[in-house]
């Protein structure tokens, strides 16, 4: 589909629920086109989504599971064949899990989904970003990373213990922010800026889905946290707000925040690059 010159195009993973859904609605309301990569369908009867689909302003691509390389590879291939460019890539998909789980590739599932898959998507869609106007990548991170006390690649991929929220989820989000920082100079050569953004606390609890949150945190979320539109606004501002000219930074509460374990940034980047080149790309 041809892009109108007065419209920007955003790519969003996990755009069918929570923060991703609210971000989709916000962008559509402001005249953007949205490319969505989802595992599940949008809520039935959503008029905004239905109207955008009918007008071709929202285009949906499906994958059975983002951490399933075969399914992800097929979806990304279709996107590259059908889409012409991307202005902003929002790597947003992925939540916290309630127990220790592993991907088909044999790595801890938070690490696979929250750290590795966003890198794969970025690498596969770099050419579309180069053709875009804004050339921006926003990785959804989390302030939970600040609670990480130990950090090694082995702990990331094969943790010995599991804690809800402050275990593999937090370390995987930290790893995401670390490779975001490390890859920024490389992307800058093509005019691409990349940032990781904490969307803050949001009530993203979903009925019938097991929570990856400790009981008290889930209770506080239900009673006190703002709706997902709050997080969507944080990601939107992280993309085109006052820090739009910065690259490689982690944004929390609208400000640039320091990362812990920065000495591991290049190691994380090397590891996700190796996975991409020797596992994902091997079968192209």
Least trusted range by pLDDT, from 41-45, 82-86, 102-106, 149-153: 41-45
Cα–Cα distance measured from residue 110 to residue 93, given in angstroms and rounded to the nearest whole number: 11
Cα–Cα distance measured from residue 168 to residue 160, given in angstroms and rounded to the nearest whole number: 10
Provide DSSP, 256-267.
EEPPS-GGGHHH
128: phi then psi, degrees, rounded to nearest 5: -65, -35
Query: At residue 208, does pLDDT exceed 80?
Result: no
Query: At residue 27, does pLDDT exceed 70?
Result: yes
Cα–Cα distance measured from residue 120 to residue 115, given in angstroms and rounded to the nearest whole number: 9
The larger pLDDT score, comparing residue 117 to residue 211, is at: 117
* Mean pLDDT, rounded, for 46-64: 95
Strand partners, 197: 140, 251
Query: At residue 52, does pLDDT exceed 90?
Result: yes
Q: Specify whether the CB–CB gap between 136 and 193 falls below 8 A.
A: yes
User: What pLDDT, on the 0 to 100 scale, is given for residue 225?
Assistant: 72
Mean of per-residue pLDDT scores for the chain: 92
Residue tagged 């979903």 (tokens): 206
- Tell me the per-residue pLDDT of 233-273, one tens digit each, with 9 for 90 and over: 999 999 999 999 999 999 999 999 999 999 999 999 999 99
Percent of the chain with pLDDT over 70: 90
* Residue 276: other Cβ atoms inside 10 A: 18
Cα–Cα distance measured from residue 225 to residue 205, given in angstroms and rounded to the nearest whole number: 10
Query: At residue 200, does pLDDT exceed 80?
Result: yes
* Domains, the chain: 9-283 (3.40.50.720)
């Amino acid at each position: 589909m041809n892009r109108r010159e007065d419209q920007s195009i955003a790519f969003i993973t996990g755009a069918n629920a929570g923060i991703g859904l609210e971000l989709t609605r916000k962008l559509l309301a402001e005249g953007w086109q949205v490319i969505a990569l989802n595992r599940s369908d949008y809520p039935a009867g959503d008029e905004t989504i239905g109207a955008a689909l009918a007008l071709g302003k929202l285009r949906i691509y499906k994958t059975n599971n983002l951490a399933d390389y075969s399914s992800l590879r097929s979806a990304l291939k279709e996107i590259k064949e059908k889409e012409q460019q991307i202005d902003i890539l929002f790597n947003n998909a992925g939540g916290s899990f309630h127990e220790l789980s592993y991907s088909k590739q044999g790595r801890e599932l938070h690490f696979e989904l929250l750290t590795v898959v966003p890198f794969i998507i970025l690498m596969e869609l770099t050419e579309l970003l180069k053709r875009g106007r804004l050339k921006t990548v926003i990785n959804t991170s989390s302030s939970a990373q600040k609670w990480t006390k130990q950090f090694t690649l082995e702990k990331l991929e094969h943790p010995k213990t599991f804690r809800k929220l402050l275990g593999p989820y937090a370390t995987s989000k930290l790893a995401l922010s670390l490779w975001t920082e490390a890859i920024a100079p490389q992307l800058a050569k093509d005019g691409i800026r990349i940032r990781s953004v904490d969307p803050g606390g949001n009530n993203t609890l979903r009925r019938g889905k097991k929570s990856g949150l400790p009981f008290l945190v889930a209770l506080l979320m239900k009673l006190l946290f703002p709706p997902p539109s709050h997080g969507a606004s944080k990601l939107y501002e992280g993309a085109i707000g006052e820090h739009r000219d910065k690259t490689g930074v982690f944004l929390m509460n609208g400000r640039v925040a320091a990362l812990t374990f920065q000495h591991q940034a290049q190691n994380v980047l090397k590891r996700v690059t190796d996975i991409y080149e020797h596992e994902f790309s091997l079968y192209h």
